Chain A
Amino acid sequence: MAAYIARRIGQALLVIWLAYTLVFLAVQLLPNDPVTIFLSADAAASPETIAAMKAQYGYDQPLLVQYFSQLTGLFRGDFGYSLASGQPVADRIGAVVGSTLILASSAFVTAVVFALIVVASATLIRITWLKRLIINLPPLFAAVPVFWLGLVLLQVLSIQLGVMSLFPDGSFASVAVPVFVLAIHVSAPIAQVLLKSTETVYAQPFIDVLRAKGASPSWIFFRHGLKNAAAPAMTISGITVGTLLAGSVITETVFARAGLGQVVLQSVTAQDVALVQGLVLLTATAFVVVNLVVDLIYPLLDPRILKSGTHGAPRALAA
């Protein structure tokens, strides 16, 4: 177990470091450095201004020096400075990340509940047409753009029915509807994978044995089927972190909520490379940490993973 945990943590750190390095290199490959890109948004800046700003933010140093000073800065919690506001990137992101985290995590929990409801009813319901309808829901959810669903709900709920305000006012509807919109989008891949793996599990002989012993369908599903089918769904849940972030940005824009979405939009519009770099590092870390947690939960769910020793076995199931 200790070796398994150590290997997973090592891989996670490696991926974060690689992501950081790749983004650093990608920024260097751009035709211009971050300061010139940032200033190009304004009227033509004088070479002195550019040189002064470069010196201020350290972009005039040799590449290796920049790389190592930025990398060691990360360990002190220093993510560099946002060019547009002059504030530390960590402050800009830290000020709003809470609201986005709340939106994303509540949407994620709701999405898992949706997926469970869809799969449970698709497995347990015996009426053919209803079953087929439910099975077709996840592909539909996957095809609906987040921003469109948000706008249609705003249109119906606040303009036609008047049960929700157009702007966030702290009421239940203005909190719940964005979570619902994001959850619909995120639940699609989870439900699709869980449906597929449940089907695979139900084709195995032990389900027949359970049936023969007289277990009820719901007992079979909740006590045996779900537990055996959960691993691939957990893998895909970990992978949805990226979707959650992108969806949060769009949801926040549609519902005029404060959060990371605003920072993302501002940083892109102002061509603030340093801030975008910080956002990338933050998301990559969130992704890697969540997937690390998923990997560490697997053995609790299915001890066979530790014995087989083939790394990444559960991931292959959902690939």
Chain B
Amino acid sequence: MSIKIDEPLLESVVEPDSPDTAGKTSGANTATEPKQGALRSPALWLTVAPLVVVIGWALFPSLFSGFDPITGVPAHKLQEPSAQHWFGTDHLGRDVFARVVHGTSQTLLTAGLAVLIGLIAGTGLGLLAATAGRAADAVTMRLIDVLLAVPGFLISLIIVTAFEPGPVSLGIGVGIASIASFARVVRSEVLRVRSLDYVEAAFMNGGTYWSVVFKHILPNSCGPVLALLAVDLGVAILAISGLGFLGFGSPPPTPEWGLLIAEGRQYLASAWWLTTLPGAVIVAVVILLAGLGRHLHKIFKF
């Protein structure tokens, strides 16, 4: 939902030529020019570089912090942020920055699972709605209405209640909640591509339904979906950290972003850094992902 709404932000930085003309004309020139412009823009790389660092945290946490995230040094408990402990230490003397870095993979994996479920199921539903005839469209759209009517938060809660609290149930729940937005974007994009001449030409050349859908329609509809993917990853991180904060994610010793903040809550009066700094990391990552989504949307806009 939010990908179309917040484009105008970095326009002046990104585009040498007016974005209006790029949107309206469909010639090959205007389609490629903003692409190159966007790829060369420093704003895009300023968005991507910190995200690469965050992915680095997830893959090789030990490279970014020398402290142990699970066992602390009790003598160093509740220290304020310093050059040695960037984010301070918690009540067990654990380095909070190390816990944030080591928690990245947990949070990103759960969010990735959620987005993957949303992407696959949403693409399937959207494709079905857009290509399999009017009846299928009507049924699928009502199903999507229902998915929208039950808040994602509650869908996650049902899954967590029925199975047991943990990262997998959490990922599945948040993933089911994101199916609707993927399905809507895929549907509208496939409807757009399907009416283009080359799709008709592919059918006339003897293409079957499946070959045309997979060779021509899907690859050409993937731009906005990719943009949504980035935005939705941020939304999933927010949802997961919220549910983790309520205690429905990984059990305590595991460093997970939402859980870190929930643990710090008990020390609100004495140690502000325990809640404030991990939360600031979440805000930064979500903003960067939304920004990346905006850039991708612009790059793939024809």
Contact = CB atoms under 8 A, between A and B. Distances in A.
A151 B246 contact: no
B2 A142 contact: yes
Given A148-B261, A195-B5, A196-B5, A243 B151 contact: yes
A242 B162 contact: no
Contacts of A291: 149
B71 interface: no
B31 to A, nearest CB: 22
Interface in A234-290: 236, 239, 241-243, 245-246, 249-250, 253, 264-265, 267-269, 271-273, 276, 279-280, 283-284, 287-288
B161 A273 contact: yes
Interface string B89-116: 0000000000000000000000000000
A103 to B, nearest CB: 15
B299 interface: no
Given A148-B283, A250-B242, A268-B161, A288 B149 contact: yes
A142 B158 contact: no
Nearest to B159: A26
B21 to A, nearest CB: 13
Given A135-B9, A272-B161, A245 B1 contact: no
A144 interface: yes
A280 B142 contact: no
A220 interface: no
Interface string A123-152: 000000000000110111011111110011
B158 A280 contact: yes
Contacts of A267: 161
A11 B142 CA distance: 9
Interface string B125-165: 00000000000000000110110111111100110111101
A212 interface: no
B268 interface: yes
A39 interface: no
A15 B142 contact: yes
B184 A319 contact: yes
A199 interface: yes
B242 A147 contact: yes
A249 B283 contact: no
Nearest to A122: B8
28 contacts: A11-B145, A14-B142, A16-B149, A19-B146, A22-B146, A139-B290, A143-B238, A145-B258, A147-B242, A151-B265, A154-B268, A196-B4, A196-B6, A196-B7, A242-B148, A242-B154, A246-B153, A249-B246, A250-B246, A253-B245, A267-B161, A268-B160, A271-B162, A279-B154, A283-B150, A284-B146, A319-B184, A319-B188
Given A249-B153, A273-B162, 14 more contacts: A16-B149, A18-B146, A30-B162, A140-B283, A148-B275, A148-B279, A154-B268, A242-B152, A242-B154, A269-B247, A271-B162, A276-B158, A280-B158, A283-B154
Interface of B: 1-2, 4-9, 142-143, 145-146, 148-154, 157-158, 160-163, 165, 184, 188, 234, 238, 241-242, 245-248, 258, 261-262, 264-265, 268-269, 272, 275-276, 279, 282-283, 286-287, 290-291
